[in-house]
Structure 1
Amino acid sequence: MTQTQNAFKDDRKLTYLNSNGADKPLISPVSATVVDSARSYRLGRFKEILVQNDVAGIILYDPINIRYAFDSSNMQVWTSHNPVRYAMILADGPAILWEFKGCEHLNDGLPGIDELRTAVSWMFMSKGDKAAAGVEVWADEIADVLRQYGGGNKRFAADKLDGPGLHALESRGFTYVEGAELTERARSIKSAAEIELMRWTIRVCEAGMARIYEHSVPGVTERELWAHLHFENARSGGDWLETKLLACGPNTNPWYTECSDRVCQKGEMISFDTDMIGPYGYCADLSRSWTCGYTPMNDTQKRIYSTALEQIDHNLAILSPGMSFAEYNEKSWRIPSKHVDYRYSLAAHGVGMADEWPVIPLHVDFGDTATGGEIEPGMVLCIESLVAEQGSESVKLETQVLITDTGYERLDSFPWEVV
């Protein structure tokens, strides 16, 4: 790197690399007591919402919900599209995990699991023409559990359930209740222990962002930069990245172009969105933009960046517990007309073990279909901005905040650019 390239390097960003030295992974300071507290709280939230909605039990196939309930992690990406492990939480009964055969030992020591069974798979990939018979075996076992612990309540919920399983339970006299709303609402309010776990994920993410910044020099490819976030996350105990949203120069506009082998050029804008599922299963969803080679921004880059930061600052300032989503929309920052066609579709969204409810659309897109509800203490929200115009690059900014009894607290602290 030449002295000219290094002249505008922001050393504040590099301080987010771990204090043990960049050659070592980050070591979590979170205590076992905090982890156990989060586990107990989360399982309790699921049971509480079942009682509130008069549901006997909920079947969980979504690996994020299984992680939330039990802190049980096994092949989460693969099982998100292959229904081979599942759980049931009973409102007035045990919490049962059906684990993929041969993986039962992965759950040793997890206190929330009252009973561990071997999963019954009935997906076509593994059962083929025997799938119909497999679903009957599965449904008989699920029905037996509901009858045993349901107290006569025939209402069951599921977060994700393929049609054959749903029809099989209905044919046995049970009534389906949509489970996604139950799990999303339960997960939306975080405990203090959860926030401590999330703070650590964000710390790991910011170390990964510092690596991206350190290597943001001419000649690097978008994929090479993105790999630095994967590296820091994986070696520090994290799980995966939900997207591949890092782009430079013309690839930033329109947004959503996934990282490629394009070589970044000096002075181009580098913009990214982490979408990182990190240690303890929590999400760090942060966005930043800066120039390749640590060059000062040109006039257009400065103007667009300042506009994006204005949106973030405004929409943070109006956050208030008890505010309805509709009121937040009414008071939110208004995007100038020349940026409307290049806009991001939302102003804020919930985040926990992944992106969550609620999603508050940008005012341009806030209509009758926007979710109702209000901002509550204990929610964690991501406040977003994407600003571009015809022929420009895109600037993507995003921060993650905890809603408190009196306002909000930012959970990330990776510096914005100085413009």
Structure 2
Amino acid sequence: MTDGSVFKDDRKLTYLNAEGADKPLKSPVLNEVVERARSYRLGRLREQLDRSDCAALLLYDPCNIRYAFDCSNMQVWTLHNPMRYALIVAGGPAIMFEFKGCLHQSEGLPGIDELRMAKTWMFMASGDKVEAATSDWANEIADLIAQYGGGNTRIACDTLDGSGVHALEARGLKYVEGAQFTEIARSIKSADEIELMRWTIRVCEAGMARIYDHSVPGVTERELWAHLHFENARSGGDWLETKLLTCGPRTNPWYQECSDRVCQAGEMISFDTDMIGPYGYCADLSRSWTCGFTAMNATQQENYDTALAQIHHNLELVKPGLSFDEFNAKSWRIPDANVPYRYSLAVHGVGMADEWPVVPLHVDWGPGAMSGRFEQGMVVCIESLIAKEHSESIKLETQVLVTATGYERLDSFPL
């Protein structure tokens, strides 16, 4: 049995760790893999920028900044405090505007041509001087576009507050919605990105095994959820996007966050990891099992078998060139009794977070469903949530790479 494998004995899953259960996992990824991934990702953004006929791409979303430059300073905090940003100029420099006192965080990163101090203009930091602060910020951006843009005034922005948009437009710049460019760029992964993602999944699975091994009567939902946080943090990961672990009756309806409820023997424990792990990649996996390692009762087993059927059927459809519309037409139909308790989607993309595309479940397919097709190099998650009236929910999800001929599962933790 090799280090890192998962096996099942009479009662528990054990996740082997060559460093010992009391040690964090150590990444085997070589530095050159990281360097190639960085170059590829910035290149993907520049390709989208060139195709868009925009002078520059302005990034505030910390996941997009991580994708572009691999700088990860205070990502969760800056998700709701726009204090740092990046500007990638078409045919010009890539500039990182870092939070005051933090320029050293981005020094030496190869994709960054210039480091500047960020100009903060949110109300929390500027108060009654916010108008002047916004003006200073917009002047600097406009000056850079005038210097490097060659007369092009179109600027693509991923997430930008309305006052920022108005300030740029007042200086003659034309705002272009940039999320479409970042999402399309991020959707096709290189082989190096896949190697980084495999390691995040490996760390996530170690955390899932810790959850399993501690799934005993008397433990609380929050105590179980903490095991995933622990494994992710000590192995170099970032954060968990949600708190979706519940047991027993709290599994239905879904989307309840973990609580101090005590898990009882024989109850289902269902969870969705949504883990942003090492190297900034997401491991989005879902599993369900019984507390105390008991055999499932008849209803639990029926729901579980139904969820497995959906996962396996939809997995076999995934191949490059298949349109989302065709996937929907061929996708597995959940039984009527499960429809009111369904998940809202069948497939979604994943990379440094949940990403484009999102393919609705057949019940929710309609004129608003996006067009598109699976492409080689995409990574997608295949979802299932099965429950019925007064039953517990079974949540299963697997993460797969779209290959030249079909798909490859990237997770190995038993379904």
Provide the rounded CA distance (Å) in 2 between the counterparts of 1:49 and 1:14: 44
Provide the rounded CA distance (Å) in 2 between the counterparts of 1:161 and 1:142: 13
Provide the rounded CA distance (Å) in 2 between the counterparts of 1:7 and 1:62: 44
Q: Which residue of 2 aligns with 1:14?
A: 14
State the Cα distance separating 1:359 from its structure 2 match.
0.2
Q: Which residue of 2 aligns with 1:210?
A: 209
State the Cα distance separating 1:7 from its structure 2 match.
8.5
Q: In structure 1, list runs of 5 or more residues that go unmatched.
A: 1-5
Q: Which residue of 2 aligns with 1:124?
A: 123
Root-mean-square deviation (CA, aligned residues, Å) is: 1.0
Provide the rounded CA distance (Å) in 2 between the counterparts of 1:329 and 1:175: 37
Provide the rounded CA distance (Å) in 1 between the counterparts of 2:205 and 2:350: 17
The total of aligned residue pairs comes to 408
Provide the rounded CA distance (Å) in 1 between the counterparts of 2:157 and 2:362: 33
Deviates more, 1:232-241 or 1:108-117: 108-117
Provide the rounded CA distance (Å) in 2 between the counterparts of 1:287 and 1:19: 25
Q: Which residue of 1 aligns with 2:30?
A: 31
Q: Which residue of 1 aligns with 2:41?
A: 42
Provide the rounded CA distance (Å) in 2 between the counterparts of 1:136 and 1:163: 13
Provide the rounded CA distance (Å) in 2 between the counterparts of 1:389 and 1:76: 38
Quick one: which amino acid aligns to residue 201 of structure 1?
A: T
State the Cα distance separating 1:8 from its structure 2 match.
4.4
Provide the rounded CA distance (Å) in 1 between the counterparts of 2:301 and 2:70: 44
Q: Which residue of 2 aligns with 1:3?
A: none
Provide the rounded CA distance (Å) in 2 between the counterparts of 1:176 and 1:8: 61
State the Cα distance separating 1:164 from its structure 2 match.
1.1
Q: Which residue of 2 aligns with 1:256?
A: 255
Q: Judge conservation of contact 1:8–1:294 (CA < 8 Å) in 2.
A: no
State the Cα distance separating 1:109 from its structure 2 match.
1.9
Q: Judge conservation of contact 1:247–1:258 (CA < 8 Å) in 2.
A: yes
Structure 1 residues 146-174: Cα deviation after superposition (integer angstroms, max 9, x where no partner): 11111111111100111111111111111
Identity %, equivalent residues: 73
Provide the rounded CA distance (Å) in 1 between the counterparts of 2:19 and 2:303: 37
Provide the rounded CA distance (Å) in 1 between the counterparts of 2:328 and 2:54: 33
Quick one: which amino acid aligns to residue 274 of structure 1?
A: T
Q: Which residue of 1 aligns with 2:5?
A: none
State the Cα distance separating 1:320 from its structure 2 match.
1.3
Structure 1 residues 275-296: Cα deviation after superposition (integer angstroms, max 9, x where no partner): 0000000000000000000000
Q: 1:316 and 1:168, CA in 2 relative to 1: closer, same or farther beyond 3 A?
A: same
Give the TM-score normalised by structure 1. 0.96
Provide the rounded CA distance (Å) in 2 between the counterparts of 1:63 and 1:129: 26
Q: 1:355 and 1:99, CA in 2 relative to 1: closer, same or farther beyond 3 A?
A: same
State the Cα distance separating 1:18 from its structure 2 match.
2.0
Q: Judge conservation of contact 1:8–1:295 (CA < 8 Å) in 2.
A: no
Give the TM-score normalised by structure 2. 0.97
Q: Which residue of 2 aligns with 1:141?
A: 140
Q: In structure 2, list runs of 5 or more residues that go unmatched.
A: 1-7
Provide the rounded CA distance (Å) in 1 between the counterparts of 2:238 and 2:64: 15
Aligned to 2:341, the other structure's residue is in SS state: coil
After superposition, residues 18-97 of structure 1 pair within 5 angstroms as 18-97=17-96
Aligned to 2:230, the other structure's residue is in SS state: helix
Q: Which residue of 2 aligns with 1:319?
A: 318
Aligned to 2:129, the other structure's residue is in SS state: helix
Q: Which residue of 2 aligns with 1:267?
A: 266
After superposition, residues 305-384 of structure 1 pair within 5 angstroms as 305-384=304-383
Provide the rounded CA distance (Å) in 1 between the counterparts of 2:369 and 2:87: 31
